[in-house]
């Protein structure tokens, strides 16, 4: 499945390369890989050589008429032993904002095309991945009542699609409006109302309508920025009971110095898989999205830190989520993700990156716990402004309370890339 935004990007790139004044980037890459346990099983391990051929294009612009970026990659993944079927995978991330009337009317496009698991409790392996896409588009209107008060309105159509999990497929309409008061140059206070209608393609899935009402406080002070939202949400299911609950969101950014920054975020409210995949209800990616039509209460905390010094960059992040499903408690789970990554540049176009990631998933149904550890290392050679080589290795090990789900997999990759 190739999304609408991919077609738009390729058409503009090939037919009208000079239509906009932004920056185009193209890439071609071929990567040879080796895995010691491609099926990620506790026994009967299968080693496998792979070849991944990728082509990518990215467009960025920040002008009066168009602001945002869109990037697409298509990958052909070959399993050289013939044990597994070859795959074609597509990836896309689009966030575009067209100005139709200066400072008044905008048209928005957001698109996330990615790979997600079919069965979230199983390892990420051939046969257990599927293509998903969440696409949304619509107008945004801004109208000033006076010098310090403005009204905004947003209308969005959203479509969600999964290659295997058909209950994920849906059509949605979203309406949102805000009354914003600029109490000072750096402080906004607003009242916000939202309405969402979700119509699933699967007849067995329970369609619903959601209404949200909340107040928001947004302030910039010194080197910090703070946004706090507080209110309530209500969901009316076509076949199930109505659900009501509080909603709160806090995001605090702190610029510690010109080279260091800190992010702290908290979120509590209703969510579903389509919102998770598109990033609308989370601050950081999770390790195990459950691709379904089910709505859940999501509690999330994230802390992220980044610092730079002497050609080095250190990034750390901690993310915790508790997902309690409203109509299917069998899916309830807790997720912890920790990541530490360090990159270093050297003379002669050489750079390295190394780090470790850790993920813990606890399933409430049977108290199963999966702990996954993944250290990684890569070295990169920039031979010219367009040509580069890389060698990477990664080891992934899972320790599960269900012994048959334990595995370890050592992977090596060598790639050559051409970028223009």
For the ranges 7-11, 297-301, 357-361, the lowest mean pLDDT is seen at 7-11
DSSP 286: -
Contact 88, 74 (CB under 8 A): yes
CA 331 to each of CA 291, 292, 294, 326, 358: distance values in angstroms, whole numbers, following the listed order: 11, 10, 9, 10, 22
Closest CA to 194 of 177, 179, 181: 177
Q: What fold is seen in the domain 99-419?
A: Porin (2.40.160)
Provide the pLDDT for residue 10: 54
Tell me, what's the pLDDT at 285?
A: 40
Lowest mean pLDDT among 18-32, 150-164, 255-269, 306-320: 18-32
Tens of pLDDT, residue by residue over 320-359, are 999 999 987 788 999 999 999 999 999 999 999 999 999 9
Q: What value does the mean pLDDT of the chain take? A: 89
Tokens coding 203: 């007849």
Which residues, 6 or more positions from 51, have their beta carbon under 8 angstroms from its beta carbon? 30, 31, 32, 33, 77, 78, 80
Q: What are the DSSP E strand ranges found in 43-169?
A: 48-62, 66-79, 87-101, 105-117, 129-146, 149-162
Q: What is the pTM of this model?
A: 0.87
């Amino acid at each position: 499945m190739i999304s609408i935004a991919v077609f738009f990007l390729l058409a503009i790139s090939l037919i009208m390369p000079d239509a906009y004044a932004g920056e185009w980037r193209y890439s071609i890459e071929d990567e040879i890989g080796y895995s010691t346990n491609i099926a990620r099983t506790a026994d009967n391990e299968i080693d496998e050589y792979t070849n991944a051929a990728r082509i990518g294009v990215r467009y960025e612009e920040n002008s009066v008429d168009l602001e945002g970026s869109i990037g697409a990659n298509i990958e052909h993944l070959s399993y050289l032993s013939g044990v597994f079927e070859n795959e074609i995978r597509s990836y896309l991330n689009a966030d575009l904002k067209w100005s139709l009337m200066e400072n008044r009317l905008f048209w928005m496009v957001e698109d996330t095309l990615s790979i997600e698991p079919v069965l979230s409790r199983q390892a990420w392996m051939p046969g257990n991945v599927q293509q998903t896409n969440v696409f949304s588009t619509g107008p945004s209107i801004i109208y000033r009542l006076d010098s310090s008060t403005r009204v905004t309105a947003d209308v969005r159509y959203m479509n969600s699609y999964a290659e295997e999990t058909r209950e994920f497929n849906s059509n949605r309409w979203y309406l949102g409006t805000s009354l914003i008061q600029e109490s000072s140059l750096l402080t906004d206070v607003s009242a916000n109302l939202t309405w969402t209608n979700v119509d699933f393609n699967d007849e067995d899935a329970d369609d619903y309508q959601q209404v949200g009402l909340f107040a928001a406080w947004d302030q910039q002070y010194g080197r910090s920025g703070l946004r706090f939202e507080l209110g309530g949400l209500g969901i009316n299911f076509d076949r199930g009971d109505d659900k009501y609950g509080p909603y709160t969101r806090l995001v605090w950014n702190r610029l510690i110095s010109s080279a260091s920054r800190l992010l702290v975020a908290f979120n509590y409210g209703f969510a579903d898989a389509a919102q998770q995949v598109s990033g609308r209800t989370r601050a950081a990616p999770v390790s195990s999205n459950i691709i379904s039509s089910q709505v859940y209460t999501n509690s999330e905390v994230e802390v992220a830190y980044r610092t730079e010094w002497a050609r080095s960059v250190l990034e750390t992040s901690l993310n915790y989520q508790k997902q309690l499903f409203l109509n299917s408690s069998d899916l309830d789970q807790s997720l912890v993700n920790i990541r530490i990554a360090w990159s270093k540049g050297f003379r002669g176009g050489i750079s390295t990156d190394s780090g470790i990631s850790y993920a813990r998933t606890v399933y409430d149904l049977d108290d199963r716990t999966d702990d996954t550890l993944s250290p990684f290392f890569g070295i990169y050679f920039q031979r010219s402004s367009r040509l580069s080589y890389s060698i990477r290795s990664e080891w992934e090990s899972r320790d599960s309370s269900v012994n048959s789900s334990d595995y370890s997999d050592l992977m090596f990759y060598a790639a050559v890339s051409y970028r223009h």
